[in-house]
Amino acid sequence: MEQKEKTKYFGDYHTHTRYSDGVSTVKQNIDAAVAKGLKELAFTDHGFNNPSYGALSRQSFKNQRAEIQNYAEGKDIKIYHGIEADIIGLDGTIDLEADELGDMEVLVVGYHSFAKAKSFFDWRKIYVSAFLSFLAKPGRSVIERNTKALINAVKRYPIDILAHINHLFKVDCYEVAKACADYGTYIELNAKHMNSQDELEQILKSGVKLIADSDAHHYAKIADFSIVEKALTGKGVDLSALENYEKTPGFPRRKQRIKE
Ligand SMILES: [Zn+2]
Ligand SMILES: [Zn+2]
């Protein structure tokens, strides 16, 4: 008899497969999620402008959906098929067309190195600045630009989850989280790229709703939130602050994506 402890989390809403840079299959991710006791799982491979991550193409996105539907049939878990889209413009543009938004059952958005920007100017201002931020502490103007682009994206698109903020692309965590609080987008506490205690403090101060995600690139990492839990308890914050801990988060912004 299997005696493994079941997770107290309702779902994991940011995971990868071989359709982008993950190493596991759709089948392995679903089996792992069911075995851990998750009630919901989202597939969010990398978006269309992100070739460095072996990203999804529009065709492979469709293939993935068919594979998910086929395998999930009859399983005791709800599956969301979405994407981890990229910021490709200073104005907050992401790498999805307006008529594709409704196809996303979960929409996760984040900054990623080497994504294809919408213009040379945007590439230089976002991606070159991010690269230089590795070498030297970024100036205020860089942080302000990155912050503004994320806030623009949250305002322009019904984004469910903003992924790993301040990872590589430096932003004002409080300002970004505040915009998410205002618009109903969750800030993700990412087990792969967990925020520092200082960043976490800024995020918490905003009053934004939080969600824990594994960002698993291997099925074994699905629903492994120990790093997130450690950071929160270190701040004296109860795990019930996570919208997917012992409850379903629901995705209020999803309604805005689906056309009548
Ligand atoms: Zn990411
Ligand atoms: Zn990811």
For 101, which DSSP code? G
Tell me the CA–centroid distance for residue 175 and ligand 2, in Å.
22
Is the per-residue pLDDT at 197 higher than 50?
Answer: yes
Tell me the CA–centroid distance for residue 136 and ligand 2, in Å.
25
Place of tokens 């019930």: 240
Residue 92, both tokens:
């907050």
Tell me the CA–centroid distance for residue 80 and ligand 2, in Å.
15
Q: Compute φ and ψ for 107, nearest 5 degrees.
A: -115, 110
Cβ neighbors of 54 (< 8 A, separation 6 or more) are 20, 21, 46
Tell me the CA–centroid distance for residue 121 and ligand 1, in Å.
23
CA–CA separation, 124 vs 226, rounded Å? Answer: 37
Residue 22: nearest ligand to its CA? Answer: 2
Tell me the CA–centroid distance for residue 3 and ligand 1, in Å.
33
User: Which pLDDT band holds residue 114 (cuts at 50, 70, 90)?
Assistant: confident
Q: Is 240 exposed, middle or buried (0-12, 13-18, 19+ CB in 10 A)?
A: exposed
Q: Compute φ and ψ for 103, nearest 5 degrees.
A: -80, -15
Place of tokens 């609080």: 181
What local confidence, expressed as pLDDT, does residue 208 receive?
98
Q: Each residue of 148-175: pLDDT tens digit? A: 999 999 999 999 999 999 999 999 999 9
Tell me the CA–centroid distance for residue 163 and ligand 2, in Å.
8
User: Which pLDDT band holds residue 78 (cuts at 50, 70, 90)?
Assistant: very high
Average pLDDT rounded to a whole number, residues 103-116: 94
The rounded percent of the chain whose pLDDT value lies above 70 is: 97
The rounded percent of the chain whose pLDDT value lies above 90 is: 88
Q: Each residue of 118-131: pLDDT tens digit? A: 999 999 999 888 88
What domains can be seen in the chain, in order of their start residue?
A: 11-257 (3.20.20.140)
Q: Each residue of 28-66: pLDDT tens digit? A: 999 999 999 999 999 999 999 987 767 899 999 999 999
